Amino acid sequence: MTRRLTWTLLALTSVLLVLAVVPLAVLMTARERVAFRDDQRAATRVIAAAAEEHLSDRKAPTGMRRELDVAARAGDCAAVYDGSARLVASTPCTSAQGGEAEELVEAVLAGHEPGPPEDEGRLLAAEPAGEVRQPAGAVVLARSAAPLDARVAAIWGWSAAIGAAGLAASVLLSVRLARWVSRPLSALDASARKLGEGALDERADVSGGPPEVRRLAATFNTMAARTEALVHGHRAVIADVSHQLRTPLAALRLRLDVLGLGVEGDTAAELTAAQEEISRLSRLVDGLLAVSRAEQASPRPTAVRVDEVVTERVVAWSPVAEERGVRLRASEGPALTVSLGSGHLEQILDNLIANALDAVPDEGNVTVGHQLVGSSARLWVRDDGPGMTAEAKAVAFRRFGNSEARGTGLGLAIVHRLVTVNGGTARLEDTPGGGLTVVLDLPLWTGEP
């Protein structure tokens, strides 16, 4: 953002400087050229006035030669021609003579006003000696263009220096302005990222930047404080509920165990059924606690090897699968590293494998596999059990969404929460030939947490 603001302000300043400095330099250059030509023509007219006295009035050429000497000392070259275009007098240099000078003389004697030609770095000017329509002669004055070029170069040099100084000042001001605006926003972005990662006590600085940014930071701090209070309150409720429920459940289970000692017949069957219900209730409480922890999770991404975790969990669940007569295996796949919270992939696979083992009948199959798909790692758990109806799949990721589930109905809700909080996606598909396939797309590890 700082670079974008800086470059935008610099581009705007550069355009304004070009629009202001260049036309001014062009105007000043034109004025210098006009002033130079006017001064040259004035000097030529002075010599022409003195030459007229000699050519028309037949006076001594003293005044004419004096003006020619003045022009020579000034560094100009001048030449006086009579009405027949013959050279009458000149300065020691000959720049006012030659082809260009003769053309100017002929134009002046013909009553025309010639243009100002340039001869090898010298500007030529011609004036009639006497009346314009019937001149008694003509004067040509050649003046070096070096002083004019030096003044023009000075004008453009100063213009460039002013533009460079303005641009340098603009750079300093642009950088300071961009940092004044972007630094508080960057700090606010960092605070928001830390809050999203689980640092609930993170607050933004409200002392710097424009008023709008300070108000935004204050609003963010208010939101963060309310979020912290809500999360802590939720966690406190979960902790209290878990404590209050587990203690009486444990006590009730012990009482039922005591009552079941030495009891036979229908009473023993009822006590056994009650103990099973107590166990189911305990699992339900544990499942709710697991869902709550998953919903509160704000993971810090770490590098997780999918192939290693898949192999490890398949090996861990193999005894359970063998006990139930189910074939559990991991298909071969590439070595992939994904970005997940610590322990999340293990928890995801445990829930999916447990659900699959509960769903498939004896001699069934459960396969866990993975592959690279685009910029994601695709992980799937496939079984050949009874599968799910379209209605059941639509609500399977909700708490207690599948009313036909054999367990608590919370496993897929935990999986969905853990996958989505890490930036992945989860969906359910039908297994070819019958059964259910859970497909997960997980973000690859990029090397940056």
> Rounded distance, CA 245 to CA 252, Å?
11
The pLDDT value recorded for residue 442 is: 92
Residues 84-133 pLDDT 10s: 888 888 888 876 677 777 778 888 887 777 665 555 567 888 888 877 77
> Does residue 215 have a pLDDT over 70?
yes
The pLDDT score that the predictor gives to residue 177 is 79
Residue 239 has pLDDT above 70, yes or no: no
CB atoms within 10 A of CB 147: 12
pLDDT at 380 over 60: yes
8 Å CB contact between 356 and 366: yes
The span from the CA of 191 to the CA of 214, in Å, is: 14
Nearest partner of 330 among 366, 305, 300, judged by Cα:
366
Residues 6+ apart with CB under 8 A from 196: 298
Average pLDDT of the residues in 199-222? 84
The CATH number for 2-150, chosen from 3.30.450.20, 3.90.550.10, 3.40.50.150, 3.40.640.10, is 3.30.450.20
Least confident window among 130-139, 230-239, 440-449 = 230-239
* Percent of the chain's residues with pLDDT above 90: 12
Amino acid letter for position 416: H
Where is average pLDDT lowest: 18-22, 299-303, 408-412, 437-441? 408-412
* 298 vs 209 pLDDT, higher one: 209
* Distance, C-alpha 421 to centroid of its chain: 25
- Is a pLDDT exceeding 60 seen at residue 172? yes
Range in 124-128, 209-213, 256-260, 307-311 with the lowest mean pLDDT: 256-260
CA 68, CA 74: separation in Å to the nearest integer? 10
The predicted structure's pLDDT at residue 416: 85
Q: How far apart are CA 288 and CA 234, in angstroms?
A: 13
Q: Look at residue 338 in the predicted model and tell me its pLDDT.
A: 92
Other beta carbons within 10 Å of 4? 10
- pLDDT tens figures, 423-433: 889 999 998 88
Highest-scoring range by mean pLDDT, 182-196, 245-259, 351-365? 351-365
Q: Classify 28 in phi/psi space as left (phi over 0), alpha (psi -120 to 50) or beta.
A: alpha
CATH number for the domain running over 211-293? 1.10.287.130
For residue 430, which amino acid is it?
A: D
CA distances from 431 to 381, 384, 436 (A): 10, 7, 5
Nearest-angstrom CA–CA distance, 381 and 370: 9
| Domain boundaries defined on the chain | 2-150, 211-293, 299-443
Percent residues over pLDDT 70 in the chain: 87
- 365: number of Cβ within 10 Å: 17
Residue 198 pLDDT greater than 70, yes or no: no
**Does pLDDT of 381 surpass 90?**
yes
pLDDT for residue 297 is more than 60? no
Lowest-confidence pick of 52-66, 75-89, 397-411: 397-411
**Which amino acid, residue 10?**
L
Q: How far apart are CA 246 and CA 286, in angstroms?
A: 9
- Give domain 299-443's CATH number out of 3.20.20.80, 3.90.650.10, 3.40.140.10, 3.30.565.10: 3.30.565.10
CB half-sphere exposure, 71, CA atoms < 13 A: 36
How many helices and strands, by DSSP H and E, does the chain display?
Answer: 10, 12
pLDDT reported for residue 407 = 53
Q: Three-class SS of residue 202?
A: coil
Q: According to the model, what pLDDT value does residue 54 have?
A: 82
Residue 448 above 80 pLDDT? no
Which of these ranges, 15-29, 35-49, 241-255, 344-358, has the smallest mean pLDDT?
Answer: 241-255
Sign, CA dihedral 232-237-238-240, equals: positive
